[in-house]
A and B are shown apart, each in its own frame.
Chain A
């Protein structure tokens, strides 16, 4: 990211069909830092459309729900991994349960890790903080 003198803004994209989960995720993310921005899309197809429509858009992180209508998270991950400019974007799966097949399939397709949606907002906050710290 180019230096502007200001701390660089971390750009995140959340793809999740659940409005409540979107709200909680963004709430947790924004509480971590003022330099994190997050865009949310409600399904895989919408996200792919976004990348097709805005060819300059390259988020640093993508958080991807697994169970979504129309295009599920695994299918979406496969398509995202085919977009050249997203090569350095870290993609995390983000789902209610982590089931063996889905977990291994997502790792095989190049997901960084699998985040199980926690029952406490604080746990999600900690998990996200750890991710940004470790990777940065």
Chain B
């Protein structure tokens, strides 16, 4: 160091000596003194430790001895010196090599040293071995890169990074394949674009973000919308992301497409529900069949017993033979109706796709009831009816039962009116379940007959349910149960509205997708 210390300032000698010792003893930093050509003039213990040279080996060598060949080839040492020369200081990090050829990651600062006139008289080079830090950072970076790559390439999960307000900031391949958007379509947009209209209207996306913000995460399953408008059943987890202060800085949203699972679950549930319905129908069927068939049979036995007891009373015997006959007829009528009804249950799964012109069906029904229409001086008027895909025999039975009911429960000069309209599901308020189809054919059959009290509007569709005494109106109590089943077989339903004495109106709703 004597080249750089003015020997004339003797009072400082003690301090300078101490200072020099300090430099020499520092172990964690290599501190080198270079002359203006880059030749090593001095060297401390740290340098010895970091770079692995003995003082004697290194003094007088050019500092580029520590640099890798490729850095020497690109003139890195000279460039650094030139920059330190011009700017006073230069800092750089890079691989260097030790005496034994091993490498270390050095953080280097070269500082120009000036004389009193400002002329550069040499350089100090301070080097720190940051190999461990460098290796750790490299490992971390690689791990982060691998992680990002993994997220980016995961196909089965849509992994999306959202801002604190729900704006999409990042998007992986899974998101692209599940939701159908390219990342440029969605980056910068709010994630609520994936939600169906009704969920957006009830604020579901915001509700989920709030929940994630408050509880750390939010989970949900529901229908979501792809770019092409198709739906998929998504199961999602939104997790809040926090900074060190604990503020929410965004959300991760992981979505899985479980449409297939959902559809098979729904199918299973529908199948189970249908089995339950069929089971309960079967129970009802067994009950009513045993009750209603038992009744005429019991009467036949009773009448036969009474006839035997009073066989000599001719008038009595005549009268009870007639009753016996009537009971036997009723029994056979019931059996025929029951067979008809059970056949309908069997036909439930048959293809309902024949093209059926309902105008033709109505025309045939009018012909069948010609006599009754004449007797009752009835008028049947109808709107033009549609042609639908269905089961012609069943639809014939449906119209036949509705028209005959209207005639039966109407006085003379009966007026039966059939109206047709295509109705959006939003306008249908008396459906027995949530409607899946957008539009329904609505065919109403209205009469001016005795009607019924509205409280019986559901009961009348039950098997063997009668609202009027047998002596007043003939029938088995199966007709409307049959109509209900036929409508259901066509994925539709039937409703009834009335007021006692003011006529009845039956409305049959069949999905428009049945259009032939």
Contacts and interface: CB of A to CB of B under 8 A. Distances in A.
Interface of A: 17-21, 24, 42-43, 67, 69-70, 96-97, 99, 117-122
A69 B467 contact: yes
B470 A67 contact: no
Contact of A121 (B290, B302, B456, B469): B302
From A19, A20, A24, residue with most partner B Cβ within 10 Å? A20
A121 B305 contact: yes
A24 B302 contact: yes
Interface of B: 287, 290-291, 294-295, 298-299, 301-303, 305-306, 309, 323, 327, 456, 465-471
A70 B456 contact: yes
A19 B471 CA distance: 7
From B294, B298, B309, residue with most partner A Cβ within 10 Å? B298
A118 B305 CA distance: 11
Contacts of A67: 291
Contact of A96 (B295, B309, B467, B468): B295
A96 B298 CA distance: 8
Contacts of A21: 299
A11 B32 CA distance: 131
A97 B468 contact: no
A117 B300 CA distance: 13
A97 B302 contact: no
Contacts of B467: 69-70
Chain A at the B interface: mostly helix, strand, loop or mixed? loop
A119 B301 contact: yes
Nearest to B453: A70
Contacts of B323: 20
B440 to A, nearest CB: 31
Given A96-B294, A97-B294, A99-B287, A120 B469 contact: no
Contacts of A97: 290-291, 294
Contacts of A117: 298
Nearest to A70: B467
Contacts of B295: 18, 96
A119 B305 contact: yes
B290 A69 contact: no
Contacts of B456: 70
A119 B308 CA distance: 13
A69 B473 CA distance: 12
A22 to B, nearest CB: 10
B302 A69 contact: no
B170 to A, nearest CB: 63
Given A21-B299, A69-B469, A119-B302, 11 more contacts: A18-B295, A20-B299, A42-B469, A43-B469, A69-B465, A96-B294, A96-B295, A97-B291, A117-B298, A119-B298, A122-B305
A18 B470 CA distance: 7
B130 to A, nearest CB: 87
